[in-house]
C-alpha cells in the first residue's frame, strides 16, 4: 500500500471513529459532517474529500465495527490455542468493545439506520453471519479436540454464544449504562461453558 493510500485509510478510520464517538454521546440525531469535522479539528470540506456525506460515513462506521469484530477473532486465534478459552476471551473483548463504544448498539438497533437503505440491513446481516461462522469454527475445533460436546450443532451454539452478548447489550443500552453488562456476561459465560464443555465422566460422542 502506498503512503498516500495508507494516509487515506487512516484518515477514513479516524472519521468513522469520530462519528461513532458522536453517536455514543449525542445519538444519531447529533451526527453531522460539521460535528465530525469539529471533533477531529478539520474543516467540513476535508471530510467530503473522503466521503460524499453522512450516509457514507455511517456505512464506514458499520464497516469499522465489522473489522474490529473480525480482528478480535483473528487475534484470539493467534494468541490462544484452547477453543473454550478462545470463546471466553472473544466474549469479553466483544463486551469491552461495546462498553467502550456506546454508539454501537445505538447504530445496530436503530431503525432509522435501515429504513431508507435496505442494503445496509443486508450488509449488517452478512457481517453478523460472518462473525457467527468464525465462532462456529472455534466451536468445531473444540469438538474435534474433544473439549466441546459434539451432540450440539456448532452453528446453533454460535447463535447461543451471540445470545450471551445481545440481550445484555440491549439492557445496557436502554439503561444508559446502569445495567452491568460485564458482570452479566461473566455469569452467562459460566452457564454456557458448563453446557458445552465435555465432562470427564461423560462420553464424547
> Where along the chain do its domains lie?
53-196
Predicted confidence (pLDDT) at residue 1 exceeds the cutoff of 80: no
Q: What is the mean pLDDT of residues 125-152?
A: 96
Measured between alpha carbons, how far is 131 from 70 in angstroms, rounded to an integer?
7
Average pLDDT over residues 149-175: 92
Show the cell assigned to 21: 464517538
- Residue count (the chain): 205
148: which strand partners? 197
pLDDT of 5 reads 66
pLDDT of 194 reads 96
Of 141-155, 172-186, 190-204, where does the model show the most confidence? 141-155
Which grid cell sits at 35?
460535528
Q: Supply 161's cell numbers.
A: 454464544
* Tens-place pLDDT, residues 32-87: 999 999 999 999 999 999 999 999 999 999 999 999 999 999 999 999 999 999 99
CATH H-level, domain 53-196: superfamily: Tetracycline Repressor, domain 2 (1.10.357.10)
Q: Which residue has the higher pLDDT, 204 or 158?
A: 158
In terms of pTM, does the model score above 0.85? yes
Confidence bin at 106 (pLDDT 50/70/90): confident
Q: Reduced to 3 DSSP states, what percent helix, strand and coil does the chain have, rounded to the nearest 5?
A: 75, 0, 25
> At residue 109, does pLDDT exceed 90?
no
- State pLDDT tens for residues 3-39: 666 588 899 999 999 999 999 889 889 999 999 999 9
- Across the chain, what does the average pLDDT equal? 91
Percent of the chain with pLDDT over 90: 71
> 72 vs 47, 127, 166, 167, 178, CA distance in Å?
28, 14, 17, 20, 26
Amino acid at each position: 500500500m502506498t503512503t498516500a493510500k495508507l494516509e487515506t485509510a487512516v484518515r477514513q478510520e479516524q472519521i468513522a471513529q469520530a462519528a461513532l464517538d458522536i453517536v455514543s454521546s449525542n445519538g444519531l440525531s447529533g451526527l453531522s459532517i460539521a460535528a465530525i469535522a469539529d471533533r477531529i479539528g478539520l474543516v467540513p470540506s476535508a471530510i467530503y474529500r473522503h466521503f460524499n456525506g453522512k450516509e457514507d460515513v455511517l456505512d464506514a462506521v458499520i464497516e469499522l465495527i465489522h473489522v474490529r469484530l473480525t480482528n478480535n477473532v483473528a487475534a484470539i486465534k493467534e494468541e490462544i490455542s484452547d477453543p473454550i478459552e478462545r470463546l471466553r476471551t472473544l466474549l469479553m473483548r466483544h463486551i469491552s468493545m461495546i462498553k467502550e463504544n456506546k454508539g454501537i448498539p445505538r447504530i445496530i438497533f436503530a431503525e432509522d439506520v435501515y429504513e431508507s437503505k435496505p442494503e445496509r440491513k443486508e450488509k449488517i446481516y452478512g457481517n453478523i453471519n460472518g462473525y457467527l461462522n468464525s465462532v462456529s469454527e472455534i466451536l468445531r475445533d473444540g469438538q474435534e479436540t474433544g473439549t466441546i460436546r459434539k451432540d450440539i450443532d456448532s452453528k446453533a451454539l454460535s447463535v447461543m454464544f451471540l445470545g450471551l452478548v445481545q440481550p445484555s447489550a440491549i439492557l445496557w443500552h436502554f439503561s444508559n449504562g446502569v445495567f452491568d453488562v460485564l458482570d452479566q456476561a461473566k455469569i452467562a459465560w459460566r452457564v454456557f461453558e458448563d453446557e458445552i464443555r465435555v465432562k470427564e465422566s461423560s462420553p464424547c460422542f
